[in-house]
Structure formats: C-alpha cells, structure tokens
Structure 1
Amino acid sequence: MPICKSRTLALAIGSLLSCNATANQAPPALEEVLVTATKREQSLQDIPLSVAAVTGEKLDEIGVENLADLTVLVPNIHFTQTGISTQMRIRGIGSDNSQGFEQSVAVYADGIFRGRAQLFRAPMFDMDRVEVMRGPQSTLFGKNSIAGALDLITAKPTHDLTGSLTANYEAEYGTTEFTTIVSGPLTESLRGRIALRKYDDPGYFKNTHKGTDEVEQDIASGRVSLEWDASDDLTVNYIGERNTFDTDGRAIEMTLDEPSLIPPAASPFGGLTFSQILNAFGAQSLDAEGFDGEQDYTRQTGSPEFSKNRSTSHTLKATWDVEGYTLTSLTGAVKYDYIENCDCDFTPTPILDLRLEEDYSQLSQEFRIASPLGEDVEWLGGIFFQTYDQYFYDILQIPQTSLLVPLLAPQIPTATLLANSGASRSFNQSSNTQAVFGQATWNIKDDFRVIVGGRYTHESKRSDKEINAVKFNGDAYSDAEAAIAYNNALIFQSQVFKTDTEQLKLRDPNAQGHDLIGNRSESAFTPLLIAQWDINDDSSTYFSYTKGFKAGGFDPRSNKPTAFEFEEEKATAYELGYKSSIWDNRGEINLAFFLTNYDNLQVSQFDGAVGFNVGNAKETRVQGLELDGRVAISNHLTASYGLSLLDFEYLDFKNGNCYFNQVGVKNDVGIEECDYTGKSGVYTPDYTFNLGFDYRRDVGQNLEFAAVLDTQFVDGYQVHVNLDPKGEIDSHTLISLRLQIGADNWHAAILGRNLLDEAVLTYSANAPLSGGNFQTNTFYSFVNRPRTVALEAAFKF
C-alpha cells in the first residue's frame, strides 16, 4: 500500500477517534436489529444462524446500486458478471455460466424468489434492509438456497406523510442519480408509497478503437407499495415494481497475452502474442487489428455491444391474525426479458459475435401458519408452489469478413461456408415445483431449546434444445460439410449430425446431433436440527445440522449433446455458533464455525473454443469461521467488524475442463478432462476482514455532522473460470468514506468509493480461438470500477 494512502487512512480514523474523545455523555447501548430470517420477526442476536443484516440507511450511505455493491459490506460474498451471465457466491459456492441454472445463492425480494442470474443485475433502491443468511437454508427458503439466501426487503408505506428527493453526481465520469420517494396515508386504513429512480452512467472504460466511453448505463426504476388494514386482524400488502436497465459496452479488457507456444520455425505466427498475430493478419490487407493487453481501463472491440433488460414483479401478501395464530398468504409474479449483443472475441478484429435473448415468467404461491409465541412448543408450517417458463436463444455470428475463414481454410477446405453464417441455440424449459415445510421450536427449559424442521420438495422439468448452423437469413444449413466445419472449428455439433448420420459419423464417430428433449422428475427431503443454549442473559451458543438440495436440469450453452443434462446437487452442513452482548450491551460478538460437504456440485467451464460444458464435481468440502459484530465506542462513534476464514477444497473432481496447455485425459465422448481434486475453487480467499466506523455529532442548532468509513481487506484468490494459475489475483483493500452535514429536512454529502484506486479483476477467461488456434494464453477480464468521488444533496419533508 502506498505510504501516502496509508497515512491518509490513519489520519481519517485518528480524527474520528480524537473528536470522539471530547464526548462527555454516557455511552449508549447498541440499537437492536430485527430480522425475519426465520419467517418471524426476531432480534438478530437471538437467531441461531449465521446471519448478517444491512440497514437501508447503511445501503444509502455507501451508495449501494445493486447486489455487486453489497459485497464490500459482508465477508464471504462475491459477485461478478461474465461474458454471458451474472454470478453470486457465498462461502465460495455459486452457479457458473449457464442460463439453465437456478442459482445456488437464492435471492428473494420481499419473500419472492428472484434467483435467476439476470435478475442479479437489477437495481436496489428505497430499501428497508438486506438480510444475508450463509449456508444452506432449505427448510424455510427452499431448494435454491444450497449456498445461502439473501432477502431484499423494501421500505414500507408510512402512517405519516413523508417524502424525499435525492440527487447524486460523480464528477470524474459524469454519473448522475435521482431518487424520489413519497409515502403516507391515502385513507384511514390505506397507506401508499411510491419510489422512482433514474441512474445514468457514461462509463469508466475507454474503447480506443471506437472512441467511446463504456460501460454506458441507463437505468429507470419505479415501485408502488400499498398497505391496507382490511380489518383489525387482516393486513394486505401489495408491491409492484418495474425496471429497465440498459447498457452499451462492457467492463471487459484483455489483461494477459503471452507468446504462442508454436515454434517460430513451424509457423510465421510462432512465438508471437495473439495481438501480434492479429496485426500480422492485418498487414496482409485483412480486416484484422491487435489490442492492448495491459490492465489500464482501455479496451478495443469493433462490433456493437449492448444489453437491454426489462423486469416486472408483483407481490401480494395477506397476514391474518386469528386467536394468536398468524396465517400468511404470499403470491408473486416475476417476469423479465433481455436482448444482448457481445463482441465475444473481445478484439477489434471481426471474428465472431454473440447475440442472446431470454424470456422468463414465474408464478409462485406460499401459504404459512404460525403458532403463538411464548408457548412450550412454537411452530410454523406451510406449502409452496412455483411454476416457470423459460425461452433462451443465442446465435454465434461469423461475419463475411471474419478472420476465422482464412484461418481455417488450409485445414478445412469448406471453411468458406462459415462466412456470413451463424451457430444458433434454441432452448425451452418449464418447471413445476411443490413443497411442504415445517419448523418447530421446543423450549425444553428457559435457557435451552431444540429446533427441528424439514422440507419435502418435488420438481418436474421439461426441456428441448436444438442447435443449428444457419445462414444470416435464418435458414438452417443442411450442408454436411458446413456441419463438419463448425464442429472442427468451434467444437459445435449441429442438428445436421442427427439427420445425416451415415456421412457424418464416418467423419466424426462421436457426433450425435443436437435436437434434444429431456424430462426430469425428482424429490428430496431436507431436514434441520438445531440445539440452542442460553449461557446467560447476554450470550448463547448453538449447534445446527441441515441438508440442502438443488435440482438437476438441462443446459442451453453446451455445444456437445452429451453435456445436455446435469444432476442435482446436495449439501450436508454443520455449524457451531456463539452470540453474545458485551460491555453493558455496548458491543456484540457473533461467531460461527461451519463445515459443509457438497455432492455433485454443479459446475460450468469454458471448453476452449466458444462454449461451456456443464457437469458435476463429485465431492466438495467448504469449512471455515465467520466473526462479526458492532461496538458502541461512545455516544458518537460506533464500530463494526467482520472476519471470515475460508477453506474450500474439491475432494473428488476428476472431470474439470483443462486450462490452457494443461494436459488432460479424453473421456468416452472425446472431451478432454483434467483432475481438480485437492484444488480450491474460484472466489475463495483464505481470509476477508471488514472494519467500519460511524461517527455522528451535533455541530450546531439542528445541525449534525456524520463521517462513515468502511474498509474491506481481501486475500488473493482465483478468478479464472478454469483455475489457470495465472488467474490468481493479489490481495486488495477497498475503502469508502462518506462525509455529511445536514438537518432534519436536508443533507449534503461527499462520498468516496475505492479510495485506494484498486483495480480488481472480478472474472477472467481465455479469449476464444487464442489458445486452440494460435497456442497463446490470452485472458479477457472484467475489472471493477476505479476510485470515484460523488456529491449528494437530499431534501425531505
């Protein structure tokens, strides 16, 4: 860390502490944090789970825009975008590149499942709090929470008329954000809230080939919430939300470009980097151009790149109190669609583009009944139904001027057939899920209780998938030689292999054709057992045992028909925890030791050409420690801290995809596989440490000054999808600082994020064709946003 930056941080912390030393008032106790992680409102300190809660006020203070920004506040959570998807992980467990996956980290919005990867990009605004539950949460949150669950709880309508207008401007890149909120009574029994947000970001990358700034974002969001007291015992809540979030460009640049392993004597391109090879093609009057292979927030791509997203959701919740029992009905409808275009060779040279489209529609219904609290046995139970329909389509487009054609012509005489054509995937999937669940707490003594629970889930899925070589007019190629060219060039087996079996089988005996239909039906019971002991009035300990389950399914992205279906994954988890209030309720300690064993962990890895193969890692072990809490140092200063130690290991994973130049073994269908047994996975730092300070003090009549400092130190970890050793990134420190002055009805603030200007790679993979055709190890990577400083003003009534 540079000395000047270290001194700046030390002075900032020292100033906070020295200002605090003048306080004469008695220090206050910490405010109680209430959460609903157990489907009942409880104090965070009373719940026998590893749970973190972030208030809406805190989210606003550090400028959280989406789930990606949340990760700097909670250890053991990682978020990234890739070339074709979005990923989130807890304790190193998540879901990879496949639109066929339900996510291992289940994300809910006001109790409604939003676990599809594309919804992870949706904006967050006007929040009450976010609850993060680490480890399998299958009993109350369902099969899609095998790694953990997040519940995004939006702000509710108020009984009094309130409103606010907040404007935020970031000077370096010109980012603007406006949020308007109005809340209050509509009638004596009906309250409403409306929140509108507009966010515009010109981008923090420079595309030097196009002369444009990227990634340009245009996001518009709106939410309406209604709360109706239908009677003294019945409350009905409705939430409707719509988001449009569009981007141009991507936060991707080339970050590694090593010389070819081909000897110079064997080829004119031997010993050259991928960029130099492209320049050499350009010297031959082809439309080829090299790129900058250094990490410097510049990129060079030629084709249009965009993502246009629309999402809507409707939530209806009815809560009825009947003689101490609480009946809850929760209905949700979620829809989204998007269209994307990716210059997926990630160079300015015309090679190949990828266009993606997806439509998704989901309906869910849950009924719960909960017993009164304070009894010897407290229980809740319910039933759950969900159905969804998904359509996914993408087409890998090879333009007329693609470098791929002259490159392959010496080996494949029919390579000219590839020009002005594409490889299309069409995928449909539908699912029906039913579940029954229950959980009971037996208060054996005042200081000892046992919690037992379980969930029985049944899911059926149907899918069909077809891959075709197509002309740009959309007609399917029936030419067998074109099918051979696609298979040899891109490991891409089209539907033609099925219809012209005799000729093609002679050329490729492993080819099967790609016109597939699949059906799955599976059931699972996931039990829960927790023993909790109150050591005294201020501390407790617990031990938990639970199982998790995520259904298998079908993959739209693999180019091999033999990799169409993947199996369900299962988890067995153990956790030993300790929670305590200390120092006369001025501090708290939350400690959890965890061990989780995963069977058939679902993985998706780059195939070395233009696709991803889905499979299962047979055995995986995740274990570690999590420590967090708060300390009220004085009337004016509160500190928060968090520490995670993580040990992730594949115990049996012999079928991993090989990284560049790694020697593997071909399986019985011709796919080369490498043994990952004993290795750690992606996004698994050995340790992460968080430390924050919140200082507030009156500086005049009705005037308050606030300083909020948040730091996170993360050990180095792997970000390459195929675990290439060169994909290991260094440790880094992220710091944000907010300085604010304001009164009851206004505030002005300055917010700095990533103050040390750390450039952190969040995802890396090999550029298509670089390794397979030229034997160069060439990475493209996503890179986080550099240092930003924003001004904010807000007015309230």
Structure 2
Amino acid sequence: MFRNEGRKARLRALYATVSAIVVITGVTEASAQDGDEETSARTLDSVLVTARKKEENLLTVPLSVSVVAGADLEKTGVQQLGEALQAVPGVSVTPTPVGDLLFIRGIGSGENQGFEMSVGTFIDGVYYGRGRSSRHAFLDIDRIEVLKGPQPILFGKNTIGGALNITTRKPTDAFEFSLDEYVEPEFGTFRTTAVVSGPISETLRGRLVARHYTTDGFVENNFLGTDAPSRDDWVARGILVWEPSDTFEATLKAEYGEAEMEGGRSQITKAVPSLIQRILPIAPNAEFNLDHVKSGPGTNPPFNREFEDNTTYNGTLTAVWDLGAHDLTSVSSYVGYDVDYSFDSDFTPLDFIQQGWDQRWHSWSQELRIASTASQTFEYQAGVYLASEELESFKVESLDFGAVGIPLGDGSRVRDFHQQTDNWSAFAEGTWNATDELSFIFGYRYTDDKKTLDRDMYFAALGSTVPNPDLPPFTAAGLGSPYIIRDLERTTSNDSLAFTVRYQPGDLMYYASYTQGFKAGGFDEGDSSGILDRIIFDDETADSYEIGLKGETLNRRLRFEAAAFYSEYDDLQVSIFDGVAALLVGNAASATSSGLEFQSQFAATDQLTLGVSSTFLNSEYDSYEAGPCSFGQGTVCDLSGKTLPYAPEFSGAFNASWADTLSSGWGYELQGKVFHTTEFSTAGDLDPAVAQDAFSKVDASLTFTSPNDTWTLALVGKNLTDETTAHFGDDIPLSNLLGNNYQQYVDPPRTLAFQVKYRFQ
C-alpha cells in the first residue's frame, strides 16, 4: 500500500512538472512576440556542444544538458572536477578516502573499487571508468557538458545515471603564450600554469600546457602539529593537430602527471565514551565534531602514515576523414593510473587500523564511427567500440586490537584483487526529418561484456604479507575467512533502445524521449567472505522518460531550458559499508528518480548577465526490503520508500555577472554565485548521524583585463559564508566491537585567492 501511494505521489509530481512546462511555454511565446519589437546591442553567445557525438547548438539537442565553460573555470581557479561541478544542481562529485563518487539525479555508484561508475566520464571522446579517474589532472578545459539521464546509445554501457562529456582546448591557428599564477595565501596554495600554442608548419599545429600545484592543506592536525592534506602535483599535456588536406585531420594527445599527498581530511565527528577515554590520554586536544581540526594518524609504523602517490597517463589518437557525404572518425586511446595509498582507517591517533593500498588500472579502447554529413531527410551515425581494461588492487590492513583493549592480538588482512574486462559494442542512431519542424530519432546499441577475476583473501602477521593460518580470532572479529578464487568469469550482453521526438516550430524546441539504460554487473572488490553469491553482483537496467523544451527569446537576450523526467531502475547496484571492515556490493530491487529541471540565462543589460538553474528531485527506493541498517537498528532493514543518497529534494544556483570597461581602457568583470541545497544522505545505509543538512554557499570573483588582453588580474573568493559541510561520512570500522562511532570527510572552508595571468600573442 505504501509503495502504491508513493508511485501515485510521483505521478502527481510528474503531472505538475508537465503542467509547469506548458505554462512556461505560453509565457515565453508571449514574451517572444513582445521581444520582437525590442532591440539590444548585446545578445547571448551561442553554445556549441558534442552531446550527440557531433557539434550542435545546445538549443537543438533533445536532452537535458548543463554546460560549464572552461573560461569560467579559469577565472575562478578550479583545480579538480568536483570543484568545477559543485554548483551544478542535481550533480554530486564527492571525494572519499579511496575515490570519488559521481551522482546525477540521485543515481550513482557507491564506494567500491570493483564498481564502474554509473555516471561515465569522457574526456575528448575517451571513457574514464573508475572513481579515481575524476581525480586526474584537470586543466586547460574548453567546456564540460553534463548529460543527465541514461546515455547508452552513443556513450555506452556505464552511463545509466548520465555522462560528463569533457572537451580540452586544441592548438590555435596563431601563436600564443600565457603564464598564469594562482595564490591562496592562508593555506599556502600556489598554482602555476604555462601554455604555448600555435602553428608549427603549414599543416601542423601544436599545444603544450604544464601545471605545478602545491598546497599546505586546510585541515589542522593538532596531534602532529601539521596541516593536511598537503599536495605537490604536476602535469603536462601535449597536443598535435595535423591537417595535410581539407579532407583529413589527425589529433595526437599525450598527458602525464604525478600527484603526491600527505595527510587526509577525514575526522571522527562522533565517538562513544569508551573510545574517547582511550584517545584523550594520547591526544588531549582531540575534537569530536565536524570542523577543520583533526587528530591522527597513529604514532608507530605502519599506523603513522597517511599519503597518496598517484601517477596518471593517457594517449589518444583521433582521426577524421571527410568522405563527402560522410565523416569517418577513429578514436584510439590508452589511459591508466598507478596509486600507492595509505590512510588511517580508524581515523583516530590510536595505533589500531591502517590500510595500505596499491592499485593499478589501465585501459585501451578503439572506436570507429561513420556519420552522414549532408543535410537530408534521413541522417545517421553508426559505429563499433572495443575496449580492454585491467584492474589490480592489493590491500594490506594492519590491525592491533590491543590499542582499544580487545584481546585479539595483532596482524594483517590481505586482499589481492585482479580483474580483466573485455567488452565490445555496436551502435547506430538515425534521425528522420519528417518535416522542417518535426524529427524522429531512433537509437540502438548492442553490448557484450566479459569480466574475469582472480582473488585472494588471507591473514598475515603484522607487517607481513605472507599467509599465516594461525590467526583464527580475526575471523571471529568479523574480518572474514581466507579464500582463493581463480578464473571466475562473468559474461553478459544487452540490447539498449532509445526513441526521441523533436518538434521545433519556431524559437522553441520541444522534445520527448524514452531511453533504456544498462550497466554491467561484476565482482565485489571489498568482499571478505569468499561466498560467490556475495562477490558477484548483477546488471542494472533503467527505463527513462523525459520531456522538455529549449529556446531563446527577447532577441536572443533570454535563453532557457526546462525538463521533466521519470526513470525506473531495476537491480540498482549499491555499495554499503557493513560497519565492520568491508564494503558490501549488491543489487537493490528497484528505485525511481523523477523531477523537474530548469535553467536560464538573461542578458539584462549590456553589462549585466543573470543566470538561474534548479533541480527538484524525488529519488527513492521502490523496493529494498533486504537493505542495510544504520547502527543499532539490526542487520537487515526495509528501505523501501526511502530517499536515495545524494538526492536532495531541491538544489539550485543563482549567478550574476557585471562586465564593463573603465575610462583607462581596462575591462573588469564582477561575478557572484549562490548555491543552495536541501538536506541529503551521505551514507549508503541512510544513517541520519552523517546526513548533510541544508546549506548555502557563496562564491565571487573580480577580474581586471588590460586593453590588449596581455594582463589579467583577479581576486577569487570561495565559500565566502564559511559553511562547514561534509559530502561523505560513515561508521568507522569494527563498529560491532567499538560501538557507535562516525567519521566524515570535511569540505574546504572559505578561501580568498588572487590570480595573475600574462598572455603574449
């Protein structure tokens, strides 16, 4: 009965959003008629995207897309992907101690290294499929396109929640050189970026960009007397574009980066008295609330190290042939990362639990795509995609139960995970332009996915990785049972369909779509049981419906988009920390994500531009009777009807920009942005102890540009209201023995920085 009422409520909400779109349509059409009589010297620039693997005006693309311009990221000194998207409503890129979580409309993948992301990340047409991939170097970006809802036809299997389509900058036709210095003095942040670009010969252009970034960190560690997490990163990227003729272009891109981090930002925010009594004699200044002060890690090896050494590399060759009525595109790539990582798994200054982790991931892929180019009644594109990837994860968890007064001795739990994935797919999309105003778009993709697993789990003496069968108390503590798995295979295939109707009688474009989403199953990297039913998780599928409209009015001074969506997910893949010592992967029965999105930009005057974007979201489990429980609520809880993690009912942003020229010829621009979200859960078991309350954050910048664009000076402020928030939190390990204790991963506080850029061209 409860689920039926919930479904009726969602249908009423969908009806309301459809009605809202109808009202918006009437208002904007009336405004358009009035606006035809007005004139303005300034209009909004067109926005070009490649959301359908070809360059199009954003207003003609029949799906919900949010675009973040690289120029805006540059002005505000953005360093990582999560920071770039933190004010995009309905989107969450959440850092955790072991990787990033990507969610769109409340749909994403939890914290488990065996997962491929439900939100796919694509950089220059190449898929980056792991949670750590979003931590790759983030520089020299042209734009980020956030594609909302399943994108299986053109982007592939693991885009069931959406896709991030990122485009980097290409070599310029004329020579240019720039040097950019970003300084945030309070936390010792310095970032230097150098770019040189231009022609090398008549047929060859090149671009080279390099960046060095250091920071002391924004969390005070009062146990060690240091700041954390300190970073020392550098990255370089080179691009060559060769155009020997008017009908052929080849682009070669190579990138390499190294990042070193010391310390972490996770902290204990709630602890039981028995744990506090053991911590305070060692760390009398320890705090147990969410702020920017922590205590830890331990005192003696191996418990006293928190670090991350990350190496990233990639190479891509893209070739495009103009065959007259068709374009043939080939994208060949090799991407990967190597990570050596150690973090304090008990998040206290006690020598209790430490995790050392080596992970290697690399992938090669080949896509071959043909597309019609001539304007005609029927347009199409089709292609094949091949990919092979390898993931190796070697974890050593060091434990000393004596640190918390439990008589189970000390030792190590070792988990060795090796997974090979091979997949291929074939896809096609056709557009029938029935009239000048009406189009029908059909899409199909077949996917074949094969995964092979080798997996060991065993116990060893403290400081060793040699199996020791004489540690039975570790099994009694809930740390699992030793096992060996070899050549475990899982193969699956899928047929995905999509259908869209697009109608554009004038300045307004209307669309309605139906899409089938698919995400392949796999193996749980965090399992300690050795039970196959727990290690293997199944495919996830979706049926998604969306209607929307896009348009411009008032002589291109007002641009707007609105969409209503309703998506049903079956066998939703979830990863839950069990409160003991493992991340458990499984499939929730079903979930629904529905809501309304709206975004608009308005050139109010020649100087003033206003923007607003918002997402109203209802994302919940339809059926999840065997769900996890928060601490003290049992072992199995019915989460049916509960809201999914990272699914606030409302999130929205308002931004304003005033740009003008001084009498001296210098230009200036004042930008401000306010982002607000209602409360949301940050743990897979929906524990209210680590839920994030509603908050608002304000960013602002003031930029001056010299008359010839040679110099740019900027003052940048982020989180000016100094809100203390955490987008990730959970129980600390071994809650079954220690009690109700929690850790959270705190977000940055207020920062004030200045930026100086010199450009020669």
TM-score normalized by the length of structure 1: 0.87
Tell me the equivalent position of 2:496: 526
Residue 165 of structure 1 pairs with residue 184 of structure 2: no
Change (3 A) 1:125 1:537: same
Does structure 2 retain, via aligned residues, the 8 Å contact 1:360–1:389?
yes
Q: Distance in 2 between matches of 1:688 and 1:474?
A: 47
Q: Distance in 2 between matches of 1:463 and 1:630?
A: 49
Amino acid at match of 1:560: S
Does structure 2 retain, via aligned residues, the 8 Å contact 1:721–1:763?
no
Tell me the equivalent position of 1:10: none
1:253-305 deviation digits (Å, cap 9, x = unpaired): 12223x4xxxxxxxxxxxx35312544xx5xxxx7979310222111112210
User: How far is the alpha carbon of 1:696 from its aligned partner?
Assistant: 0.9
Task: Trace 1:388-399 onto structure 2 (pairs within 5 A).
Answer: 388-399=389-400
Does structure 2 retain, via aligned residues, the 8 Å contact 1:203–1:216?
yes
Tell me the equivalent position of 1:323: 324
SS in structure 2 at match of 1:717:
coil
Residue 74 of structure 1 pairs with residue 88 of structure 2: yes
Tell me the equivalent position of 2:6: none
User: How far is the alpha carbon of 1:25 from its aligned partner?
Assistant: 9.9
Q: Distance in 1 between matches of 2:562 and 2:41?
A: 25
Tell me the equivalent position of 1:130: 144
Unaligned runs of 5+ in 2: 1-37, 299-303
Tell me the equivalent position of 1:265: none
SS in structure 1 at match of 2:277:
helix
Residue 477 of structure 1 pairs with residue 475 of structure 2: no
> 121-130 or 179-188, which moves further after superposition?
121-130
Task: Trace 1:519-558 onto structure 2 (pairs within 5 A).
Answer: 519-534=489-504, 536-558=505-527
Amino acid at match of 1:423: R
Q: Distance in 1 between matches of 2:450 and 2:731?
A: 36
Residue 772 of structure 1 pairs with residue 736 of structure 2: yes
Tell me the equivalent position of 1:255: 269
Q: Distance in 2 between matches of 1:247 and 1:278?
A: 25
User: How far is the alpha carbon of 1:26 from its aligned partner?
Assistant: 3.5
Q: Distance in 2 between matches of 1:151 and 1:304?
A: 36
**Correspondence for 1:740 among 698, 703, 717:** 703
SS in structure 2 at match of 1:96:
coil
Tell me the equivalent position of 1:432: 422
Change (3 A) 1:655 1:291: farther
1:325-380 deviation digits (Å, cap 9, x = unpaired): 10000011001110100110000011110011111110000001001241000100
1:70-112 deviation digits (Å, cap 9, x = unpaired): 2233111112122333211111111111111110010011000
**Correspondence for 2:660 among 668, 690, 697:** 697
SS in structure 1 at match of 2:636:
strand
Task: Trace 1:639-718 onto structure 2 (pairs within 5 A).
Answer: 639-663=610-634, 672-718=635-681
User: How far is the alpha carbon of 1:612 from its aligned partner?
Assistant: 1.1
User: How far is the alpha carbon of 1:682 from its aligned partner?
Assistant: 1.1
Tell me the equivalent position of 2:346: 345
Change (3 A) 1:688 1:435: same
Tell me the equivalent position of 1:568: 539
Tell me the equivalent position of 2:595: 624
**Correspondence for 1:611 among 568, 572, 582:** 582
Tell me the equivalent position of 2:727: 762
Amino acid at match of 2:554: W
Q: Distance in 1 between matches of 2:724 and 2:588?
A: 31
Tell me the equivalent position of 1:507: none
Q: Sequence identity of aligned pairs in percent?
A: 31
SS in structure 1 at match of 2:475:
helix
SS in structure 2 at match of 1:719:
coil
1:710-758 deviation digits (Å, cap 9, x = unpaired): 1111111111232112222221111111101121111111000000001
Tell me the equivalent position of 1:332: 333
Residue 488 of structure 1 pairs with residue 476 of structure 2: yes
Amino acid at match of 2:345: C
Tell me the equivalent position of 1:369: 370
SS in structure 2 at match of 1:695:
strand
Q: Distance in 1 between matches of 2:41 and 2:649?
A: 36
Change (3 A) 1:73 1:81: closer
Does structure 2 retain, via aligned residues, the 8 Å contact 1:452–1:530?
yes
Q: Distance in 1 between matches of 2:403 and 2:315?
A: 48
**Correspondence for 2:437 among 447, 472, 480:** 447
User: How far is the alpha carbon of 1:703 from its aligned partner?
Assistant: 1.1
Quote the RMSD (CA, aligned, Å): 1.6
Tell me the equivalent position of 2:356: 355
Runs of 4+ in 1 over 3 A off after TM superposition: 24-27, 287-291, 514-517
User: How far is the alpha carbon of 1:494 from its aligned partner?
Assistant: 1.4
Amino acid at match of 2:631: F
> 726-735 or 444-453, which moves further after superposition?
726-735
Tell me the equivalent position of 2:18: none
Does structure 2 retain, via aligned residues, the 8 Å contact 1:277–1:290?
no
SS in structure 2 at match of 1:518:
strand
**Correspondence for 2:717 among 752, 765, 772:** 752
Tell me the equivalent position of 2:381: 380
Tell me the equivalent position of 1:403: 403
Residue 796 of structure 1 pairs with residue 753 of structure 2: no
Q: Distance in 2 between matches of 1:722 and 1:84?
A: 18
1:188-228 deviation digits (Å, cap 9, x = unpaired): 11000000011101000011111111010111011001111
TM-score normalized by the length of structure 2: 0.92
SS in structure 1 at match of 2:276:
helix
Work out the number of aligned pairs and report it: 712
Does structure 2 retain, via aligned residues, the 8 Å contact 1:288–1:403?
no
Q: Distance in 2 between matches of 1:101 and 1:545?
A: 26
Does structure 2 retain, via aligned residues, the 8 Å contact 1:163–1:181?
yes
SS in structure 1 at match of 2:477:
helix
SS in structure 1 at match of 2:689:
helix
Tell me the equivalent position of 1:462: 452
User: How far is the alpha carbon of 1:313 from its aligned partner?
Assistant: 0.3
SS in structure 2 at match of 1:276:
helix
User: How far is the alpha carbon of 1:478 from its aligned partner?
Assistant: 2.1
User: How far is the alpha carbon of 1:491 from its aligned partner?
Assistant: 3.1
SS in structure 2 at match of 1:726:
helix
Q: Distance in 2 between matches of 1:717 and 1:362?
A: 34
Task: Trace 1:209-224 onto structure 2 (pairs within 5 A).
Answer: 209-224=223-238
Tell me the equivalent position of 2:293: 298
SS in structure 1 at match of 2:356:
strand
Tell me the equivalent position of 2:16: none
Does structure 1 retain, via aligned residues, the 8 Å contact 2:183–2:189?
yes
User: How far is the alpha carbon of 1:674 from its aligned partner?
Assistant: 1.8
Tell me the equivalent position of 2:35: none
Does structure 1 retain, via aligned residues, the 8 Å contact 2:75–2:714?
no
Q: Distance in 2 between matches of 1:611 and 1:290?
A: 30
SS in structure 2 at match of 1:275:
helix
Does structure 2 retain, via aligned residues, the 8 Å contact 1:333–1:363?
yes
User: How far is the alpha carbon of 1:474 from its aligned partner?
Assistant: 2.4
Amino acid at match of 1:234: F
Q: Distance in 2 between matches of 1:736 and 1:706?
A: 14
> 306-315 or 365-374, which moves further after superposition?
365-374
Q: Distance in 2 between matches of 1:701 and 1:318?
A: 47
SS in structure 2 at match of 1:673:
coil
Does structure 1 retain, via aligned residues, the 8 Å contact 2:222–2:285?
no
**Correspondence for 2:684 among 714, 721, 746:** 721
SS in structure 2 at match of 1:486:
helix
Q: Distance in 2 between matches of 1:206 and 1:363?
A: 41
Change (3 A) 1:773 1:278: farther
Tell me the equivalent position of 1:668: none
Tell me the equivalent position of 2:75: 61
Does structure 2 retain, via aligned residues, the 8 Å contact 1:288–1:349?
no
Change (3 A) 1:185 1:337: same
